[in-house]
Amino acid sequence: MSSSLFAGFPSTSDLREALLLLANADGPGFLSDIDATVADVVGAWIPILTELLPAPKGLDWRAHHAEIGSFQAMPHLVGNAEAQAFMARMMLNEPPHFHTMPLIEGAETLSALVNKGLLSLAGYCTVRSTPTICATRGWLESRSFPSRPIIHHPDVGNEPASYAKGNLWKAQMIAALWPYAIGIIEDSTSVIMALPADYPGTVIHLGAYKPCRSDIRVIPCATWRDVAKLVSSGNHLS
């Protein structure tokens, strides 16, 4: 799949536009999530949250996020209106850390697999919304990720989508993009659980040690090294 076809990381939140973009590619491929899959959003947010928001003494933010799946859904923040409003503003506006967000360990593997022709990458699918896409595009480009379409959450006025609604939207989009997108590399168990039972694609579940579902094809890969082994063997396509 030629990167020149998608120069500048074209973006859309519209299903028909996304289908047209993927239909014009060289062939079907996998989607990749962004946050906590290639971009270490957890590492970027922790210093900000620990400084501004209340937390139980000794809380391991990263471990707790891995267990819960979202800062917004953490029990000690769910009922905190100030904390929720702060995190909403961070997603609606273009926070500075979106430009400097570190890589997930081993995330450069994605580019290597694509460049070697081992993985066909159809695009990126994210619950990020329009105001953050310019920074997202710049971040991907500055770290030499393949230029592909960014399929993002639609605008919802002045309010971001809730954690649950965002995951449901994403799962529905992933399913609707079949067969142009034949699977996704995804870290969120919540997104995977929201996929329909008849989803025919393959989910490479990054950060997982065992399948979270048995009715659809979910392949756990604890690290990007495991993703590389899987893709190099060709078993992600079987």
Q: What is the pLDDT of residues 18-72, one digit of tens each?
A: 999 999 887 899 999 999 999 998 888 788 777 777 677 778 877 777 777 677 7
More confidently predicted of 98 and 108: 108
Residues 171 and 76 in one domain: no
Mean pLDDT score, 110-114: 98
Residues 128 and 16 in one domain: yes
> How far apart, in whole angstroms, are the C-alpha atoms of residue 238 and residue 233?
10
Q: Quick check: is 195 in a domain? A: yes
Domain that holds residue 195: 3-39+101-233
Residues 82 and 194 in one domain: no
pLDDT for res 162: 66
Q: What is the dihedral of CA 80, 86, 87, 89, to 10 degrees?
A: 140
Backbone phi, psi, residue 118, to 5°: -85, -25
CA neighbours closer than 13 Å in the CB half-sphere of residue 102:
10
What percentage of the chain has pLDDT greater than the value 90?
55
Mean pLDDT score, 177-197: 96
Mean pLDDT score, 200-215: 96
Average pLDDT of the chain, as a whole number: 87
Number of folded domains that form the chain: 2
- Domain boundary at 58, 81, 98, which? 98
pLDDT for res 141: 94
pLDDT for res 76: 80
Mean pLDDT score, 132-149: 93
- Domain boundary at 63, 79, 98, which? 98
More confidently predicted of 116 and 135: 116
Residues 118 and 77 in one domain: no
pLDDT of 88 > 80? The answer is no
pLDDT of 104 > 90? The answer is yes
Q: pLDDT, tens digit, for every residue of 13-24?
A: 999 999 999 998
Residues 167 and 134 in one domain: yes
**CA 79 → CA 74, 75, 83, 101, distances in Å?**
9, 8, 9, 27
User: How many other C-beta atoms can be found within 10 angstroms of the C-beta atom of residue 159?
Assistant: 10
Q: Which two tokens stand for residue 230?
A: 């899987």
Residues 60 and 164 in one domain: no
> How far apart, in whole angstroms, are the C-alpha atoms of residue 120 and residue 115?
9
Residues 28 and 127 in one domain: yes
Backbone phi, psi, residue 29, to 5°: -160, 180
Three-state SS letters, 146-159: CCCCEEEECCCCCC
| Pick from 164, 185, 202, 208: nearest CA to 72 | 164
Residues 94 and 14 in one domain: no
Q: Quick check: is 238 in a domain? A: no
What's the pLDDT band for 159 if we cut at 50, 70, 90? Answer: low
What's the pLDDT band for 160 if we cut at 50, 70, 90? Answer: low
pLDDT of 4 > 50? The answer is no
What's the pLDDT band for 75 if we cut at 50, 70, 90? Answer: confident
Residues 212 and 106 in one domain: yes
Q: Quick check: is 162 in a domain? A: yes
Question: Residue 135's domain is classified under what CATH number?
Answer: 3.40.50.1000
Residues 90 and 109 in one domain: no
Residues 30 and 117 in one domain: yes
